[in-house]
């Protein structure tokens, strides 16, 4: 499985960090459909977090259609794309809102537009490999 880390001192809830890390691994292809995720107890022990936190993260991913959990058989990646719960315009709006937050963070950190463009290009390139 892809390396997953959490920052215990982060203001972002740990379950959200787990969801984000696993979504990223799925998006870049580190995790593929049918790959098995570690059992809740194992991942909780590996990360040093409460098992309910990991269970919450897995439920969130299951709700988005990325994983499926079968009692006694574990949790597996089921899709490399989230199920369509909203319209395309709503998805675009959600992505635009998240990008706006990132740009605000960069601006408040004193980053120039050129530097931000480079970071943006680097991030996009890491997800969309040239074929």
Name the pLDDT band for 1 (thresholds 50, 70, 90): low
pLDDT at 94: 78
As beta bridge partners, residue 67 has 77
Q: Cα separation of 37 and 64, whole Å?
A: 16
* Structure-model confidence comparison of residues 85 and 105, the more confident one: 105
Q: How many CB atoms lie within 10 A of CB 91?
A: 13
What's the pLDDT score for residue 126? 85
At 39-67, the pLDDT tens digits run 999 999 999 999 999 999 999 999 989 99
What pLDDT band is residue 83 in, cutting at 50, 70 and 90? Answer: confident
pLDDT of amino acid 23: 92
40 closest CA partner among 9, 3, 15, 20: 15
């Amino acid at each position: 499985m892809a390396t997953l880390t959490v920052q215990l001192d982060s203001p972002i809830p740990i379950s959200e960090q787990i969801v984000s890390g696993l979504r990223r691994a799925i998006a870049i292809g580190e995790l593929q459909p049918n790959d098995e995720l570690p059992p809740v107890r194992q991942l909780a022990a590996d990360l040093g977090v409460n098992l309910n936190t990991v269970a919450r993260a897995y439920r969130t991913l299951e709700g988005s259609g990325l994983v499926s959990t079968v009692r006694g058989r574990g949790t597996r990646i089921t899709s490399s794309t989230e199920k369509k719960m909203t319209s395309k315009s709503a998805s675009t709006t959600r992505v635009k809102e998240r990008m706006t937050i990132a740009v605000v963070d960069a601006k408040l950190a004193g980053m120039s537009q050129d530097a931000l463009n480079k970071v943006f290009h680097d991030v996009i390139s890491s997800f969309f490999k040239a074929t």
